Structure 1
Amino acid sequence: MQTSANAESGIAGAGLGLRRALLPELRQMQPGSVDFLECAPENWIGVGGVLGDALQELTSRLPLSCHGLSLSLGGTAPLHQVLLRQIRQFLDRHRVSLYSEHLSWCADAGQLYDLLPIPFTDEAVRHVSARIGQVQDALGRRIAIENVSYYAAPYQALSEVDFITAVLDEADCDLLLDVNNIYVNAINHGYDAHAFIARMPTRRIVCYHVAGHFDEADDLKVDTHGADVKPEVWDLLAHTYQVHGVHPTLLERDSNFPPLDVLLAEVDAIRALQANARA
């Protein structure tokens, strides 16, 4: 039986991505510095020894959410059943209720190590939704899908927002709303980020992501997760809280790591926006 990502997940407030480069500092940080951590299970499945012990210690102290990288929900190759079993075991072991994956594809004969866009068509809606249903059955829980950043559109019979909402309805799954991805796509593809956010279904949203990006040009932004969150993205997150309410929000940082106190200041910025929205 599937359980809702909203139900008893223990995930609330402001979180930080758990990355191996941050492990020593995360283990030493003061209680209450973050409300939860998030990791990609593929990066930790089968990991033992010192790293495995560190992960176990952190998840014994803090709630953990998981954000997958490898299921290739939009792909055509059969779903990786061994990986699905491993992910379920990982989620159960670390008491993870909130699991999300990207609305993209990333594998063919093997992993392509990139998140590639899906054609926005009715056929793709049916295809992706069926695969999400298989994943939810295999994991025994509802999952959330994340809107992704993309730089080329293979085919768009539907708009991005119509495609996302159609998949959510057809698959009956939840939504991880990535605010930075909306900002990046809005610049790169020339649409209104506020109008996009307004059309997202509030009842499907279980969490948010926020991250930094690289300004390649005025009309080209690259989603890197390797920089501080831009002021415009903070403003868009505040607006999103006003439209859809406060949900758990994760700061993603994957490279160019500053000292932990710099990241924790951004976590505190999330908390401040959440407090303002509640007020």
Structure 2
Amino acid sequence: MLDEFCQTVPSDIDFFEVAPENWMTLGGKFGRQFRELTEKHEFYCHGLSLSIGSPAPLDLQFVKNIKDFLDVHQIGTYSEHLSYCSGSGHMYDLMPIPFTSEAVMHVAKRVKQVEDIIERPLILENVSFYAAPGAEMSEAEFVTAVMQEADCKMLLDVNNIYVNSINHKYDAVDFLKAMPSERIAYLHIAGHYEEAADLIVDTHGADIVEPVWKLLDACHQFHGVFPTLLERDFNIPQTSELLLEINKVHDYQNRHIASLKRSA
């Protein structure tokens, strides 16, 4: 999309989100094009490798490199996954943190470490997970406890709530209601792959399904309207097709804002 967006960016796109790991070491043509875009448009960063819940020490040099990248491109928003992806080595996958009080304290301490280095808030995303080893509390209890203890903001992923609700058989709306409105910084919405009736895989490689759209609508009712990122990591169609879903997000936002004005 670089060549396309360096020529023109549709007005329907309010901001972009990138994984800093994919861009922070690039120079040459790609580096110049990326710089051209960040100078003209708003960007958020959503990291892949911080491994905030890992038992291994934080990679402090990596965190410093993230800060340098954010500074160069004047990006204020940096989010990461409430999970981990490293131990004795890097697993290149997002593993579930045990839902325990000990893990809450461990993550909160590391969040403050990261924020001291990057000199920005660290925003944490509720993740999709496929097993809950050693859980002593529910996912909702764990997520809210981390947000409270770390005093940090949340990236609320609506699709992840739906995926987990099917895989772990809980009520998605109840989970959504339990999330702290005052902690939410922005939203993600995406498609997934239905492997079986009771198993959904979070892929970001398909169109958004109707139950997830309904959950987004419920999110607006419970928590209000926030910047919302359409995630699409592969099977990427033409921009004109992506804009159909982007504008559907705008439609949901505008309908909610209009309803608030009518009731005011």
TM-score by length of 2: 0.95
Q: Is the 8 A contact 1:213 1:221 kept in 2?
A: yes
Unpaired segments of 5 or more residues in structure 1?
1-21
Which deviations, in whole Å up to 9, do the C-alpha atoms of 1:168-226 show, x marking residues without a partner? 01101000000000000000000000000101000000100000000111111110011
Post-superposition shift, 1:108? Answer: 1.5
Match of 2:144 among 160, 165, 180: 165
1:270 aligns with 2:261: no
1:196 aligns with 2:196: no
Amino acid at match of 1:210: I
Post-superposition shift, 1:31? Answer: 4.2
Match of 2:19 among 40, 60, 71: 40
Corresponding residue for residue 261 of structure 2 = none
Which deviations, in whole Å up to 9, do the C-alpha atoms of 1:18-48 show, x marking residues without a partner? xxxx223333344413000000111111211
Match of 1:71 among 37, 42, 50: 50
Instruction: State how far apart, in whole Å, the 1-side matches of 2:213 and 2:8 are.
Output: 24
Match of 1:209 among 182, 185, 188: 188
Amino acid at match of 2:202: D
- Higher relative CO (CA 8 A, sep ≥ 6), structure 1 or 2? 1
1:115 aligns with 2:94: yes
Instruction: State how far apart, in whole Å, the 1-side matches of 2:97 and 2:25 are.
Output: 30
How high is the sequence identity, in percent, across the aligned residues? 53
Which deviations, in whole Å up to 9, do the C-alpha atoms of 1:109-141 show, x marking residues without a partner? 222100000100001111111111111111111
Match of 1:135 among 104, 114, 125: 114
Q: Is the 8 A contact 1:25 1:260 kept in 2?
A: no
Corresponding residue for residue 241 of structure 1 = 220
How many aligned positions are there?
258
Amino acid at match of 2:232: R
Instruction: State how far apart, in whole Å, the 1-side matches of 2:187 and 2:106 are.
Output: 25
Instruction: State how far apart, in whole Å, the 1-side matches of 2:164 and 2:210 are.
Output: 16
4+ long deviations beyond 3 Å: 28-31
Q: Is the 8 A contact 1:179 1:237 kept in 2?
A: yes
Instruction: State how far apart, in whole Å, the 1-side matches of 2:8 and 2:205 are.
Output: 21
Match of 2:80 among 92, 96, 101: 101
Residue 188 of structure 2 aligns to a residue in which SS?
A: strand
Instruction: State how far apart, in whole Å, the 1-side matches of 2:220 and 2:68 are.
Output: 33
Residue 257 of structure 1 aligns to a residue in which SS?
A: coil
Amino acid at match of 1:190: K
Instruction: State how far apart, in whole Å, the 2-side matches of 1:29 and 1:77 are.
Output: 43
Corresponding residue for residue 59 of structure 2 = 80
Amino acid at match of 1:211: A
1:176 aligns with 2:175: no
Corresponding residue for residue 125 of structure 1 = 104
Amino acid at match of 2:129: Y
Amino acid at match of 1:144: I
Unpaired segments of 5 or more residues in structure 2?
259-264
Residue 209 of structure 1 aligns to a residue in which SS?
A: strand
Instruction: State how far apart, in whole Å, the 1-side matches of 2:12 and 2:2 are.
Output: 14
Post-superposition shift, 1:154? Answer: 0.9
Instruction: State how far apart, in whole Å, the 2-side matches of 1:109 and 1:23 are.
Output: 36
